[in-house]
Chains A and B, each alone.
Chain A
Amino acid sequence: GAVVSQHPSWVICKSGTSVKIECRSLDFQATTMFWYRQFPKQSLMLMATSNEGSKATYEQGVEKDKFLINHASLTLSTLTVTSAHPEDSSFYICSARQGNDSPLHFGNGTRLTVT
């Protein structure tokens, strides 16, 4: 149980375009999901906390207008990278948990390359 599915697994886009990444909890409901970004040879950095039915909470230094998060249902959160630039190229990973005393489960990540 507790599977988190992320799609797509990789995407290449041109500078200036937008890319949407989906994160789904397959067998449980998640009122909260988390989005992370990882640059090569670095750790995972929390970008934002996605809350079902309300606005996402962004970490300091993360532009909310650039990284749009929508948590429309208890099983789906989306991250849209708007007007992507090469410096947005990174590995994006989402996670979700079943409850406050449960571990976080992670999707397989999305490797974004902006050309």
Chain B
Amino acid sequence: GIQVEQSPPDLILQEGANSTLRCNFSDSVNNLQWFHQNPWGQLINLFYIPSGTKQNGRLSATTVATERYSLLYISSSQTTDSGVYFCAAFSGGYNKLIFGAGTRLAVHP
């Protein structure tokens, strides 16, 4: 099946810093999503981005489908950005959404 790898596994930032999270996937995809999981376990849907670039406030994401990777940019990080960020890819051939291992982000004041 499709493999999804995320890097880095852990990230510590000072408030106000910028960061880039990366997601590599092993097969062509027709769905790529980024999530933020809060301390209560809720998965917040950040981006649905099978290709191209999208922006939402301080967050933006880019997927280069032909090179099989996606990037999540966090600018001017805040303590409320802390949590786990997951990338998940859906391959039509496998008909399932597979999650990466996640990036655990801690933003300190």
Chain A residues at the B interface, C-beta cutoff of 8 Å: 34, 36, 38, 42-46, 49, 91, 93, 95, 100-106, 108-109, 111
Asked whether, in the complex, the Cβ of A49 is within 8 Å of the Cβ of B101, the reply is no
The interface size of chain B toward A, counting residues with CB under 8 Å, comes to: 22
**A109-B41 contact given A43-B102, A44-B86, A104-B90, CB 8 Å threshold:** yes
Main secondary structure of the interface of B (DSSP, over half): strand
A-B contact pairs, 5 of them (CB 8 A): A43-B101, A46-B96, A93-B43, A108-B40, A109-B42
> Which secondary structure dominates chain A's binding surface?
strand
Cα-based distance from A102 to B50 in the complex (angstroms): 10
Q: Which of A34, A45, A106, A109 has most B Cβ within 10 Å? A: A106
Q: Of B33, B41, B48, which one neighbours A108 at CB under 8 angstroms?
A: B41
